[in-house]
Structure 1
Amino acid sequence: MRLISFALCLLLSLPAWGAEASLLSELDALYAKRGDAGGEKAYEGALKTALDAAPEDYELVWRKARILQWQADGAASDKLKKVLGRQTWDWGEKAVKLAPARVEGHYYAATGIGAYSQAVGIMKALGEGLEGKFNERLDKALQIDANYDRGAPLLAKGRYYYELPWPKRDLAKSASLYEKAIAKHPEMLRAYYFLAETQLRDGKAAKARDTLQKVKQGSVAYDPAEGRRVQEWSKKVEADIEKELR
């Protein structure tokens, strides 16, 4: 209820604010609570009202792509992931058109293509020519700011090398990109989670177990919703590792 009340106050004050720094700060505060009860709805409602008033505002557009990417990342079905991935892609492209020199649009367009590709199947995505579109956008994001959102573009590129079918798959490149992100952002639990999965697939189960401990024991304070999500996902990887080590 507190989140909803806070969001309502925010909505009532929007016409006077416009997309000013104070509004963006309040939106980001709501986004940080997206993992709490009612948090995601509160953020979506406030963002929708802001976008209705200023549909071409870059700061609002990329924030729309961000919540869609979060939802696609946690989608419970391929059908839903496909829809959300496409929407993330579209909003990311809109952001690119509004501010091509900024990193966010390129990054979210790439992750939208990635989510869409996961949903339809990597082989089908390759057949549709999505690999080139994904890399074009992601490589631009890496060029602008590889450390955006705690190294998120590096993680996306690492995941690309992990998910490609043989012989394109390159687990060594995947691991090196995660390690590069970890070196600058040691709090980022997703980097350890992805690294553990890569090590497991590469036949290094013991190393994967050690890496996954960083996820289990790590603090989620940097982003509670993200950290809790990754820790929940890590349970299945831990089971897979222990099975491999038996």
Structure 2
Amino acid sequence: MKKVIVILVVLLFNQLFSFEDYWQERNSIEGAKKAFETTREEFSKNQNDFEVAWKLARISHFYADNFVKDREEKKKILDLGKTAAEKATTLKPESPEGWYWLAVCLGSWGEANGVMQSLSSVKPIMEACNRGIKLNPEFEKGNFYMVRGRVFHKAPSVISVGDIKKAMADYEKAISINPENRTAYRFYAELLLEQNNKEKAKEMIEKGLGIPLNKENVLVENKEIKLLTKLKEKI
């Protein structure tokens, strides 16, 4: 009986203190904006809630990356996402969510703020990815490896951590964990084309295009299909 009461209390507590993040509505500009504004408002009221913090980082990145055209507004939103992710890592450093969204937000934040900021964000991105991999290498279906691979791929080798072999290894690891990671196939194909390995690049492109459409993430899926199709046309 006591066990039943405890379970009921926990369920009631979760219901009282949970919030609607509208993440499932993110594939339209209206839905993404509502999700962002709702989660931002919740974070302003309760900055010590781990779930709210990492979810704000997640929707800030998604909304800025997919819908926000104004550069200054995008920078502001990504900065908020970065701040929320950093907060999540301090609230629960043993959980991968904060580290993952910190790495992702830092990557887009660096790109939005120019070359120098992009270079300065390399170290904290790598630290976040390495920390996350130690905690849970299969979190987000292996996406820590994809993000770290992208850094190895795009960072300059002389003044930063750029390393093509390590990038390839991480892309392959991400794909081995999740063979339906369309973005990982695209990243890997881009790298292979840069290395003039057209045969293997074509293989990655075909595999990426052959993945069934994930309707829950249709906006990103369709963007990736277009990018893969453009890569295919280059071969």
- Determine if the alignment matches structure 1 residue 206 to structure 2 residue 199: yes
Unpaired runs of 5+ in structure 1? 1-14
CA contact (8 A) 1:89 1:113 kept: yes
Residue 40 of structure 1 is matched in structure 2 by: 32
- Report the secondary structure of 2:77's partner residue: helix
Q: 1:165 is matched by which residue type in structure 2? A: P
Structure 2 residue 16 is matched with structure 1 residue 18: yes
1:183 to 176, 187, 191: 176
Instruction: Give the corresponding residue for 1:58.
Output: 50
Name the SS of the counterpart of 1:38 in structure 2: helix
Q: How many angstroms does 1:48 deviate by? A: 4.3
User: Partners in 2 of 1:46 and 1:173 — Cα distance?
Assistant: 39
The question of 1:137 aligning with 2:137 is answered: no
User: Aligned letter for 1:39?
Assistant: G
Per the TM alignment, residue 53 of structure 1 is displaced from its structure 2 partner at its CA by: 4.9
Once the two structures are overlaid, the 10-residue window that deviates more, 115-124 or 95-104, is 115-124
Equivalent residue for 1:12? Answer: none
Contact 1:171 1:202 in 2 (8 A): no
Q: Kindly indicate whether the alpha-carbon contact (under 8 Å) linking 2:209 and 2:228 is maintained by their aligned counterparts in 1.
A: no
Report if aligned partners of 2:36, 2:60 keep a CA contact under 8 Å in 1.
no
Between the aligned partners of 1:76 and 1:121, the Cα distance in structure 2 is: 16
Superposed CA RMSD in Å reads: 2.7
- Equivalent pairs: percent with the same residue? 25
Which residues in structure 2 correspond to 1:1-246 (within 5 Å)?
17-20=15-18, 23=19, 27=21, 30-36=22-28, 38-48=30-40, 50-51=42-43, 53-74=45-66, 76=69, 79-126=72-119, 129-167=120-158, 168-221=161-214, 224-225=216-217, 228-243=219-234, 245=235
- Assess, with a 3 A threshold, how the Cα gap between structure 1 residues 236 and 149 changes in structure 2: closer, same or farther: closer
Matched-pair contact (CA < 8 Å) for 1:189–1:218: yes
| CA spacing shift, 1:54–1:213, aligned 2, 3 Å | same
Cα contact 2:107–2:125 (8 A) shared by 1: yes
Q: Distance in 2 between matches of 1:109 and 1:156?
A: 11
TM-score normalized with structure 1 length = 0.76
Instruction: Give the partner amino acid of 1:57.
Output: D
Q: Aligned partners of 1:77, 1:147: CA distance in 2, in Å?
A: 34
Distance 2:179 2:93 in 1: 29
Shift of 1:17: 3.3
Q: Give distance in 1, aligned partners of 2:29 and 2:77.
A: 21
Deviation at 1:104, TM superposition (A): 1.1
Distance 1:237 1:16 in 2: 42
- Following superposition, the deviation at residue 157 of structure 1 comes to 0.2
Q: How big is the shift at 1:238?
A: 3.6
The Cα of 1:49 is off from its aligned counterpart by 5.3
Distance 1:91 1:206, change over 3 A: same
| Contact 2:183/2:224 (8 A) holds in 1 | no
What CA deviation, in whole Å up to 9, does each residue of 1:47-91 have, x standing for no partner? 345445533211111111111122343354654543333222111
Gaps of 5+ in 2: 1-12
